[in-house]
Structure 1
Amino acid sequence: MGDNNGAVPSAGAFDDVFAANAGYAADFSLAGLKPVAGRGLALVTCMDSRIEPLDMLGLEPGDAKILRNAGARVTDDTLRTLVLAVYLLGVERVLVLPHTRCKMASVPGDDAVHDLIQQEYGVDTRSLEFHTNSDQLGALGHDLERIRHHPLLPAGLPVAGAIYDVDTGRISPTDL
């Protein structure tokens, strides 16, 4: 087993999720589901646990490719994944969906997050880029343009942005 910075998994730390999987597997009904996006959708959204991507968009398993990260940002890895999804996994349209009250949009920048982690935990994270941006609509517009103008994605690929409200469940499309 690798070093993992000296961290050793706690015995039993995952027992609850492994036990829950036994019940899930007993009633498993997704066998044979094709690996393509059945409704041609790729969704880029935040990792926030208040977001239920399938339910909030009226989707079923297999309908969409869902890409999640802190802040719903279109990073280089997101673009890499979208290229694969478009050419190999049936994606024909992309929705970028950040949300209200996002921690990554509530700080003045990456330096604030680095400082907080350093002060609270003694860990220097400055080798990472967190892509924080307190101008959430500006960041969304930038991210939409990254997709629209990526040289490996098809010209004319439908790309849209919206904001998900974690307090009401409503999605507000943007005109960016």
Structure 2
Amino acid sequence: MPDDFEDLLTANREYAASFDRGHFDGVAHAGVAIVTCMDSRIDPLRMLGLQHGDAKIFRNPGGRVTEAALEAIVLGVHLLGVERVLVVPHTRCAMTVSSEAELRERIGSAVGIDATWQRFHVIDDQLAALHEDVRRVVSHPLIPSTVQVGGFLYDVDTGLLDHKV
């Protein structure tokens, strides 16, 4: 088992050898928070021209504004300099192509146990979900109306953001 992560630990030691970012304070220096999908095709900082220390990033399947994402946004706004929130799902998202039942069956079959108890939060209508997610942020009682909130769709084939909400 210890060798399962050796390639990553070796890369980390190389990274740490020239690490010069220990002085950052944890504040979002560009005042930005991004809620986006965990999809590896998305590079949240680069797609917005941002750099290390500029933004708070919250990732989950589908890029949804979950309770945990709302918690992160509230903390970001009040403690970490967040003034703008971008909610950014993306095209060709795996969370939009299967039903809850299909995912439960596929995963349950893969592990050989009943997975009907697991919720995966699939997305039936991505644009409706994006509108709902932006509404959840805008209407949250602990997020001031001075915080700018936008809903965008990231195109994984072109790299472009489309401002939807």
- C-alpha distance in 2, partners of 1:141/1:124? 33
- Listed as ranges, the matches of 1:1-176 within 5 Å are 10-107=1-98, 109-174=99-164, 176=165
CA distance in 2, matches of 1:103, 1:169: 17
* Partner Cα separation in structure 1 for residue 3 and residue 113 of structure 2: 26
CA RMSD of superposed structures (Å):
1.3
Shift of 1:106: 1.5
1:63 and 1:90 mapped to 2: Cα distance?
A: 10
Report the CA distance between 1:58 and its aligned residue.
0.3
Instruction: Please state whether the residue corresponding to 2:41 is helix, strand or coil.
Output: coil
Percent of aligned pairs sharing the same letter: 48
Amino acid aligned to 1:159? V
- Describe the shift of the 1:74–1:123 C-alpha distance in structure 2 as closer, same or farther (beyond 3 A): farther
Measured against aligned partners, the alpha-carbon deviations of 1:45-80 in whole angstroms (never above 9, x if no partner) come to: 010111111111100000000000000011111111
Q: Which runs of 5+ in 1 are unaligned?
A: 1-9
Gaps of 5+ in 2: none
Q: With structure 2 as the length reference, what TM-score do the two structures score? A: 0.94
Distance in 1 of aligned mates of 2:58 and 2:95 = 16
Q: Secondary structure at the match of 1:23?
A: helix
Post-superposition shift, 1:93? 1.0
Give me the whole-angstrom Cα distance separating, in 2, the residues matched to 1:94 and 1:161: 9
Distance 1:99 1:89, change over 3 A: same
Runs of at least 4 residues of structure 1 off by over 3 A? 123-128
Could you tell me how far apart the structure 1 residues matched to 2:114 and 2:132 are?
28
Query: How far 1:157 sits from its partner (Å)?
Result: 2.0
Alpha-carbon separation, structure 2, partners of 1:80 and 1:105: 24
Secondary structure in 1 matching 2:56: strand
Give 1:11 deviation, angstroms.
2.7
AA of the residue aligned to 1:87: H
- Tell me which amino acid in the other structure corresponds to 2:96: A
String of CA shifts for 1:96-138, please: whole Å, max 9, x gaps.
Answer: 001111000112x322211221123224344433221131111
The residue type equivalent to 1:173 in the other structure is H
Say how many residue pairs are matched.
165
